[in-house]
Chain A
């Protein structure tokens, strides 16, 4: 019996050579312990060294290898060939981002949005080093821990139809990371982040499709973070109307 094989259709875009992306099929050995990333590495090593894609850790930690696999955003290191075999597997760059080359997307938009929400601990007054660290109870950690699991893989942006139609939308991961710091007992920067989070391109752009949460490989629940952001922004507004003299 011949060794089993599986076909990968990989979207190719070679700037300067291709006017528009085209699919290229590769027939690779099928092994039931291989993931799509293993198959891509096989193509790169043995068949066609020109195929470009991002990857690093191979174990769902680095967040580099996100791709559309049969139209669904997934980490290619976590997408087993056995879940598709014997059918053909279609591999495309993450949806909604410009294509740099082949499966490599342009990340600049996300990087700009990520830094805009200031995903770090902001203090009104930094405590001197001599006074030691900011301490936190396990319960305080628990409040934001889920949102801190984000690996910036951008599957949530590729799953978000709002981001496709409204590219200015700050988007799921950046808002979830803003929520992660807002909920941190050591942080005092919520007011600064609200300009972006509750601004014209922030939480109110979200129509709660919920697919960001469905595709998230680390169970961050960005849709939850965004809805909670809407609720707290609405509470801010009510307070500002009811208590215009009060501290928001």
Chain B
């Protein structure tokens, strides 16, 4: 007379849309990690001198690399937007006794994103 233990399933994430979207969000980190590697290589080649840097830029401009960068960009957008949407879950901000509405917390993330992006754009394009 023993209880029945159901074996764990490994296709659980195909069962409903929310699980599938969650797995997609997790997988986007692979592309983000890949892009981080590209940027680190960029810095390394920059340190090695002009020739190495320009050779690396030519590698980045090959069709396969361009596709990788577009996919990584799309993954980064999906990753950022879905995490911003979840941020009020972790951050309960109170002003006095009132809770700041979750929309405002999400909005603050977007504002910070835009400000940081603008600063980086100013450094990169202005220099």
Query: What residue in chain A is nearest B5 (Cβ atoms)?
Result: A98
* A20 to B6 Cα, complex, angstroms: 9
- Closest CB in chain B relative to A69 CB, distance in Å: 13
Contact B4 A99 (CB under 8 A): yes
Question: How far, in Å, is B95 (CB) from chain A's closest CB?
Answer: 12
User: Are A231 and B90 in contact, with the CB atoms below 8 A?
Assistant: yes
Stretch at the interface among A32-40, A57-65, A222-230: A222-230
> Is B92 among interface residues, defined by CB-CB distance under 8 A?
yes
Contact partner, A210, options B1, B8, B86, B97, Cβ 8 Å: B86
Indicate with 1 or 0, residue by residue over A80-121, a CB within 8 angstroms of chain B CB atoms.
000000000000000110111000001000000000000000
CB distance from A68 to the nearest CB of B (A): 11
A15 interface contact, C-beta 8 A = yes
Residue A184 CB within 8 A of the other chain: no
In the complex, the answer to whether B4 meets A13 with C-beta atoms within 8 Å is: yes
Q: Is A219 an interface residue (CB 8 A)?
A: no
Task: Give the complex CA separation of A161 and B18 in angstroms.
Answer: 11
A122 to nearest B CB, angstroms? 22
How far does the Cβ of A173 sit from chain B's closest Cβ, in whole Å? 16
Q: Are B89 and A227 in contact (CB under 8 A)?
A: yes
The CA-CA distance from A145 to B84 in the complex, in Å, is 25
| Interface of chain B residues 12 through 51 with chain A (CB within 8 A) | 12-13, 15-16, 18-19, 22, 26
A209 at the interface (CB under 8 A from B): yes
Interface string of A200-239 (1 = CB under 8 A from B): 0000000111110110000001011001101100000000
B8 touches A165 (CB 8 A): yes
Closest Cβ–Cβ distance, residue A225 to chain B (whole Å): 9
Are A228 and B90 interface neighbours, CB within 8 A?
A: yes
Whole-angstrom CA separation of A122 from B19 in the bound complex: 37
> Contact: B1 with A16, CB < 8 Å?
yes
In this complex, how many residues of chain A approach chain B with their Cβ under 8 Å: the count is: 33
- Chain B residues whose CB sits within 8 angstroms of the CB of A228 once the complex forms: 89-90, 92
Q: Mark A14-26, 1 if CB is under 8 A from B, else 0.
A: 0110101100000
The complex places the Cα of A20 from the Cα of B4 at a distance, in Å, of: 7
> What chain A residues lie within 8 Å of B91 (beta carbons)?
231
Would B18 and A139 count as touching, CB distance under 8 A? Answer: no
Q: Are A208 and B86 in contact (CB under 8 A)?
A: yes
Q: In the bound complex, do residue A99 and residue B12 qualify as a contact, i.e. CB atoms below 8 Å apart?
A: no
Q: Is B9's beta carbon under 8 Å from chain A? A: yes
With A210-B22, A211-B18 given, is the CB distance from A98 to B8 under 8 Å? Answer: no
Task: Decide if B26 touches A207 in the complex (CB within 8 Å).
Answer: yes
Distance, CA A28 to CA B33, complexed state (A) = 55
B62 in contact (CB, < 8 A): no
Kindly report which residue of chain A lies nearest to residue B13, judged by CB atoms.
A161
How far, in angstroms, from A102 to B97 measured CA to CA in the complex? 48
The residue on A at minimum CB distance from B4 is: A99
| Chain B residue at minimal CB-CB distance from A208 | B86
Q: Is B63 an interface residue (CB 8 A)?
A: no
Residues of A within 8 Å of B8, CB to CB, are: 164-165
Which of B6, B18, B26, B97 contacts A214 (CB under 8 A)?
B18
What is A's interface to B at a CB cutoff of 8 Å? Answer: 13, 15-16, 18, 20-21, 71-72, 95-96, 98-100, 106, 139, 142, 161, 164-165, 207-211, 213-214, 221, 223-224, 227-228, 230-231
A-B pairs, 9 with minimum CB distance? A227-B90, A98-B3, A99-B4, A139-B97, A224-B89, A227-B89, A15-B1, A209-B22, A106-B3
Complex A-B: 6 CB contacts under 8 Å = A13-B4, A15-B4, A18-B4, A100-B3, A209-B22, A228-B90
